[in-house]
C-alpha cells in the first residue's frame, strides 16, 4: 500500500499531532507524516515529532515581511518534503487565498466545536454560555474563511451539568484525538468526494462523517460497565 505523504502545521502543544502520529504507526493506515512544521520555535509538538523520528521545520512568521512570503516559505518546505496532504493541528496563522488555493481539497483542519456553530476563538466558554447540551469537534477542508469549508467528520460529546471550560475542553479534546485520525484516513484513502459543501463517502451508505464517542472513551463510565 502506498501511503499519502502528509505535512502537519502546528503552533503549540501538538496533542492532535500526537494522535495522528499514533494512528500512522498502524501498518494499514493510509497516510504517513513526513514533515511537522511550526511557526513557533517553542511549540511543544516539535518535540513530539522529533521523538517519533519525523522531520521538523520552524518557519517563524515574524521573520517574514508579509503573509505571502511566510506562506511561500511554508509552501516550499511542504513541496520539498513531497507532501500530498496538509493537516492543520492547532496552527494559528490565518492562511491567505494564495496558500489555500494551492492546497485546495488537500488541506484539512480540526476545530473544537460542531461547526458552523462557534467558529473563531474562546469556543469552550461560548459553548457553555450558549447552554447547548451537545458539543464536539469538526474536521473540515480549509477554505479562505475562518473555520469554514466542507465537513469531513464531526464527533459529538455531551455537555454535563457541572462542566466548566476545563472539563468540557478535555472531553472535546479526547474526541478530537479520535476524530482527526479517522477523518485523515477517509481523505488519504481516497474514499471521499467533495460535492459543493458536502463530503460524500464512496460506496458507503453509513454516516462515515459522524462519530459518537462512547462514554468510556470520554472517561464518563468505566470500560465494561453497564
Ligand atoms: C484560525 C483562523 C484564524 C486565525 C487563527 C486560527 C483557525 C484555523 C485556521 C488556521 N489557518 C487558517 C484557518 C482557517 O480556518 N482558514 C484559513 N486559514 N484560511 C488567526 O486569525 N490568527 C492570527 C494570528 C494569531 C497568532 O499568531 O497567535 C492571524 O493574524 O493570522
Ligand atoms: C485543538 O483543540 C484544536 O481543535 C484547536 O486548537 C487546539 C490545538 O491543540 N484548533 C482551533 O481552535 C482551530 N480553529 P493541540 O495543539 O493540542 O492539537
CA of 134 to the centre of ligand 2 (A): 19
Hey, how many other C-beta atoms are within 10 angstroms of the C-beta on 28? 8
How high is the pLDDT of residue 1? Answer: 85
pLDDT at position 179 over 70: yes
Does some domain include residue 203? Answer: yes
Q: Answer yes or no: do 90 and 132 share one domain.
A: no
What pLDDT is attached to residue 218? 73
User: For atom 23 of ligand 1, which residue has the closest CA?
Assistant: 93
Distance between CA atoms of 193 and 183, rounded to whole angstroms? 13
Report the pLDDT value the prediction gives residue 209, as an integer from 0 to 100.
86
Q: Which ligand is nearest to the CA of 93?
A: 1
State yes or no: pLDDT of 191 exceeds 80: yes
- For residue 112, give the C-alpha cell: 473544537
Decide if pLDDT at 6 tops 80: yes
- Continuous segment of H or E residues that includes residue 182: helix 165-188
- Residue that has been written with the C-alpha cell 460524500 in this structure: 200
Helices 15-24 and 44-51 cross at an angle (nearest 10°) of 20
Mean of the pLDDT values across residues 158-179? Answer: 97
On whether both 91 and 119 belong to a single domain, the answer is no
Is the pLDDT confidence value at 119 over 90?
yes
Total domain count, the chain: 2
- Position 225 confidence tier, pLDDT thresholds 50, 70, 90: low
User: Same domain, yes or no, for 116 and 73?
Assistant: no
Q: Is 145 a domain residue? A: no
Mutational test site, ligand 1, from 93, 101, 141, 145, max ligand atoms within 8 Å of CB:
93
Same domain flag for 80 and 158: no
One domain for residues 126 and 193: yes
| Beta-bridge partners for 36 | 8, 56
Buried b (16+ CB within 10 A) or exposed e, 76-108: ebbeebebebbbbbbbebebeeebbebbeebbb
Known catalytic residue: 111?
A: yes
54-64 pLDDT, tens digit per residue, is 999 999 999 99
Domain boundaries, position 126: 111-139+150-226
**Paired residues of 10 in beta bridges:** 38
Task: Give the pLDDT confidence of 16-51 residue by residue, as tens digits.
Answer: 999 999 999 999 999 999 999 999 999 999 999 999
For the question of whether the overall pTM of this predicted structure is more than 0.85, the answer is yes
How high does pLDDT run on average in the chain? Answer: 95
Question: Residue with the nearest Cα to atom 16 of ligand 1?
Answer: 146
Residue 166, pLDDT > 80, answer yes
Neighbour count for residue 36 (Cβ, 10 Å): 29
Q: Are residues 176 and 81 in the same domain?
A: no
Ligand 1 midpoint to CA 90 (Å): 9
**Ligand 2 pocket residue status of 90, Cβ below 6 Å:** yes
**Predicted confidence (pLDDT) at residue 226 exceeds the cutoff of 70:** no
Domain identity same for 156 and 97: no
| Residue 144 is assigned to a structural domain of this protein | no
- For the residues 83-89, what does the mean pLDDT come to? 98
Is residue 121 assigned to a domain? yes
pLDDT at 152 over 80: yes
Residues 98 and 115 grouped into a single domain: no
Instruction: Report the CATH number that the domain containing residue 45 is assigned in CATH.
Output: 3.40.50.170
Domain match, 119 and 211 both: yes
Ligand 1, atom 5, lies closest to the CA of 92
Residue at 44 is within a domain: yes
CA 77 vs CA 103, 150, 195: distances in Å? 13, 26, 30
- 150: confidence class by pLDDT, cuts 50, 70, 90: very high
Residues 18 and 91 in one domain: yes
Confidence of residue 206 (pLDDT cuts 50, 70, 90): confident
Same domain, 223 and 124: yes
**Same domain as 70, residue 134:** no
Amino acid at each position: 500500500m502506498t501511503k499519502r505523504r502528509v505535512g502537519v502545521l502546528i503552533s503549540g502543544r501538538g496533542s492532535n499531532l500526537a494522535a495522528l502520529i499514533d494512528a500512522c504507526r498502524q501498518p494499514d493506515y493510509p497516510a504517513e507524516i513526513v514533515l511537522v512544521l511550526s511557526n513557533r520555535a517553542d511549540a511543544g509538538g516539535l518535540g513530539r515529532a522529533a521523538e517519533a523520528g519525523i522531520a521538523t521545520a520552524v518557519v517563524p512568521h515574524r521573520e517574514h515581511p508579509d503573509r505571502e512570503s511566510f506562506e511561500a516559505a511554508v509552501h516550499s518546505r511542504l513541496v520539498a518534503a513531497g507532501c500530498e496532504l496538509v493537516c492543520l493541528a492547532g496552527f494559528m496563522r490565518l492562511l491567505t487565498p494564495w496558500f489555500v488555493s494551492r492546497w485546495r481539497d488537500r488541506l484539512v483542519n480540526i476545530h473544537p466545536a460542531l461547526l458552523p456553530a462557534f467558529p473563531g476563538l474562546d469556543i469552550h466558554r461560548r459553548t457553555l454560555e450558549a447552554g447547548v447540551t451537545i458539543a464536539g469537534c469538526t474536521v473540515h477542508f480549509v477554505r479562505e474563511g475562518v473555520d469554514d469549508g466542507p465537513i469531513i467528520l464531526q464527533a459529538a460529546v455531551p455537555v454535563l451539568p457541572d462542566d466548566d471550560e476545563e472539563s468540557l475542553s478535555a472531553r472535546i479534546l479526547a474526541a478530537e484525538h479520535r476524530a482527526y485520525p479517522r477523518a485523515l484516513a477517509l481523505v488519504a484513502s481516497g474514499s471521499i468526494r467533495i460535492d459543493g459543501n458536502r463530503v460524500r463517502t464512496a460506496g458507503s451508505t453509513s454516516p462515515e462523517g459522524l462519530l459518537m464517542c462512547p462514554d468510556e472513551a470520554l472517561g464518563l463510565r468505566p470500560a465494561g460497565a453497564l
